[in-house]
Amino acid sequence: MKKKELGKGIRALLHDMDDEGAVPTLDTMRELSDVVANISIQEIEPNPSQPRSRFDDNQLAELAQSITTYGIIQPLTLRKIGRDRYQIIAGERRYRAAKLAGLDEVPAFIRLANDQELFEMALVENIQREDLNAIEIAVSYKRLMEECSLTQEELSGRVGKDRATISNYVRLLKLLPDIQNAVKNKMLSMGHARALAGIDDIALQITMFRQTIDQGWSVRQLEQHLKSHFEPKSSGSSKSKVVADPQLEMVKNDLRKHFGTKVQIDRNTKGEGAIRIYFNSNNEFNRILDILQEEI
């Protein structure tokens, strides 16, 4: 999704849509859903119905520092509610951090009035294009879920992709900005990005990213280095050494695809062990619970 700056035609279109009774067309929504506008912070107001009312000051300060260094990686989404007046649909945390960082304007996607169905159609059309990189697809999936109140299961039906695929894409948005940019610039593939997104340790993530770029690792080589890093080191004791079981590895990979997240299986020579399913947020935890409950 190659983003364009807000041209005169789009500016005129937004002003033409100031009347509350104006009805956007699909062509209008298709064009606006693919354009990033720079909007003055003074023209933006929070959504009074925003369910999240408390924001951690330390996390906002960290995000403000990141914005100062890298800029806003993912644009806000705003609803035009009048001439030079916009209301936040998604991105209030980014909006607050941008104000804290002293920005005068922020990048944003613009929506018009109650255009839910048209907006969904326009974004789904964009996702189906062949020239999008993995990060652009991930942003589109996240926008559809956040702005149209869709679960991953519902989104799966909209775009014709299984839920695990959608989850794998959305997880890429947790990668560091430098890694996201490398994916956008085709320095890294989707496979590289997925492997790096499975690393919870930020320091290790950036180390593996730099080594992948510097040494030209393939996806397979990156996965092998990660595997060797996480494998328990030999202690030289007389305890029985656990030998990797190819069938167990197949089960682990199947579970990772099924849940769309990192899965670890630990088992000793007696057959004792545990299965660990990792998650990075309450939403991901609830999604995994939904999958488990469906199969009980």
Give the count of domains, the chain.
2
Q: Is residue 115 part of a domain?
A: yes
Q: Are residues 135 and 269 in the same domain?
A: no
Instruction: Kindly state whether residue 282 falls inside one of the protein's structural domains.
Output: yes
pLDDT recorded at residue 5: 45
Mean pLDDT rounded to a whole number for the chain: 77
Known catalytic residues are 92
* Mean per-residue pLDDT pooled into runs of 10, the chain (296 residues): 45 50 54 75 81 73 86 83 82 89 90 63 68 85 82 84 88 89 90 89 86 91 85 51 64 79 79 82 76 70
Looking at the fold, whether 248 and 170 belong to one and the same domain comes out as no
* pLDDT tens by residue, 95-112: 999 999 999 999 988 876
Residues 149 and 292 in one domain: no
Residues 140 and 269 in one domain: no
Residue 95 located in a structural domain: yes
> pLDDT digits over 274-286, tens only?
888 887 777 777 7
Question: Are 260 and 139 contained in the same domain?
Answer: no
For residue 3, being part of any structural domain is answered with: no
Of the candidates 126, 141, 174, which is a domain's last residue?
Answer: 174
Per the rule left: phi > 0, alpha: psi between -120 and 50, beta: everything else, 49 is alpha
Which residues in 97-129 are b (16+ Cβ under 10 Å) and which e? bbebbebeebbbbbbbeebeebbbbbbbebbee
Residue 79 is which amino acid?
R
Tell me if 34 sits within 8 A of 126, measured CB to CB: yes
| Closest by Cα among 54, 113, 64, 63 to 87 | 113
**Domain CATH code at residue 119:** 3.90.1530.10
Query: How confident is the model over 153-186, as pLDDT tens digits?
Result: 888 887 888 888 888 899 999 898 889 999 988 8
Q: Which domain holds residue 168?
A: 8-174
Neighbouring C-beta atoms of residue 272, cutoff 10 Å: 8
Q: Check if the beta carbon of residue 154 is closer than 8 Å to that of residue 124.
A: no
